[in-house]
Amino acid sequence: MENNTHTSKVLIAKSYGPSDVLEFQEITLDTLPQGFARIRVKAAGINPIDARRMTGEFKHAGLPQTFGTEFTGEIIEIADDHSDFKVGDFVLGSGNGFTHATVIDVPVGNLIRRPENIAWEVAGSIAGVAQTATTVLDEIGPINSLLVHGASGGVGSIIVQLARERGITVVGTSSKRNLEYVNSLGAIAVEYGDGLTERIKEVFPNAFDASIDMVGNEQATQVSLEVVKEDGVIGTIAGKPTSSERVVPFWVKRNPQNLQHVVNGIEAGKFTWEIDSTFPFENAAEAYSKILEGHTRGKIVLTF
């Protein structure tokens, strides 16, 4: 194993607030721990939870804070004599605390290979949302119908497709401009806003087996309480307090096999993967502001 010294430019926030709290910090990385790979990042997705941590709406660690859960890049050092990976391999996966940085250290067990025909910006945006979506479906268990609030976003887009792959009927809500996209994923698309319950019942009059909220607003909670059967699952990944004890929070569980399944589907053209927009790492503040606006179609990605 080579024992090189590497530096990394890391996105941090020393306080909570809008995107102008973000800054870059240059750090020297410690000796690479056993079982880890050092990655030069090529692209990293931004998820709504990153932006909500920036504003302080969601707090799970103290200040200063770092950001990012998914990435793709090139291995520049590895400390695992039994791994099939080597220096120079292109990989993707989940981070070990943060991925919005130029160089990161990641457990080898979090990595899978990046297929050549998957663009960097796509590869860097898969791991977090793919594993979140599969976690939700696995923990809900066998169902026949699912209501997805916020079906056009990163997690929403893939959970619709994974659910349809399992033979589940899906109704997905979105803004008007994303209805056609949600339909193309295999869901019955319904525009959110006033009168949502009635519009959902028009297209799916039966009670749903389950619902999942990607948005985290009160309308999603109240509508789900009205249209999901009494013993059905009402879940959320938004990480926000809810007004009903029936709403179950789901948290991602890392599973490289589930991630590989989604990557294989994207590589084969079976799953659609939409990139809303990309921003150079230096323009991270602009990217974070955009994700807070909502209404994204697919993923917002930082490129390096």
| Shared-domain flag, residues 195 and 136 | yes
Give the CATH number, domain containing residue 75: 3.90.180.10
As a whole-number percent, the residues of the chain with pLDDT over 70 amount to 99
| Shared-domain flag, residues 11 and 97 | yes
The number of folded domains in the chain is: 2
Distance of CA 162 to the CA centre of its chain: 14
Q: Is there a domain that residue 220 lies in?
A: yes
Q: Strands (DSSP E) along 161-273, which ranges? A: 169-174, 188-191, 208-213, 228-236, 247-249
Q: Is there a domain that residue 263 lies in?
A: no
Q: Is there a domain that residue 280 lies in?
A: yes
| Shared-domain flag, residues 135 and 83 | no
User: What band does 294 get if pLDDT is binned at 50, 70 and 90?
Assistant: confident
Give the CATH number, domain containing residue 211: 3.40.50.720
3-class secondary-structure state, position 142:
coil
- Characterize the bridge pairing of strands 275-280 and 299-303: parallel
**Contacts (Cβ under 8 Å, ≥6 apart) of 240:** 57, 58, 216
Question: Can you give the pTM of this predicted structure?
Answer: 0.90
Strand partners, 23: 12
| Shared-domain flag, residues 90 and 64 | yes
| Shared-domain flag, residues 111 and 191 | no
Q: Give the tens place of pLDDT for each residue, 158-188.
A: 999 999 999 999 999 999 999 999 999 999 9
User: What band does 4 get if pLDDT is binned at 50, 70 and 90?
Assistant: low
| Shared-domain flag, residues 20 and 92 | yes
Q: Give the tens place of pLDDT for each residue, 83-108.
A: 999 999 999 999 988 999 999 999 99
| Shared-domain flag, residues 225 and 280 | no
Q: Give the tens place of pLDDT for each residue, 225-243.
A: 999 999 999 999 987 888 9
> What is the number of residues in the chain?
304
| Shared-domain flag, residues 119 and 150 | no
Distance of CA 190 to the CA centre of its chain: 22
Q: Is there a domain that residue 258 lies in?
A: no
Tokens, residue 20 = 């102008």
| Shared-domain flag, residues 110 and 188 | no
Q: Is there a domain that residue 264 lies in?
A: no
Own/partner contacts of 203-207, CB < 8 Å, gap of 24 or more, are 203/171, 204/145, 204/147, 204/169, 204/171, 206/145, 207/232
What's the Cα-to-Cα distance from 198 to each of 192, 195, 201, 221, rounded to whole Å? 11, 6, 5, 15
Q: For residue 234, give its domain range.
A: 130-249
| Shared-domain flag, residues 56 and 143 | no
| Shared-domain flag, residues 122 and 170 | no
Q: Is there a domain that residue 35 lies in?
A: yes
CA distance 105 to 98: 9
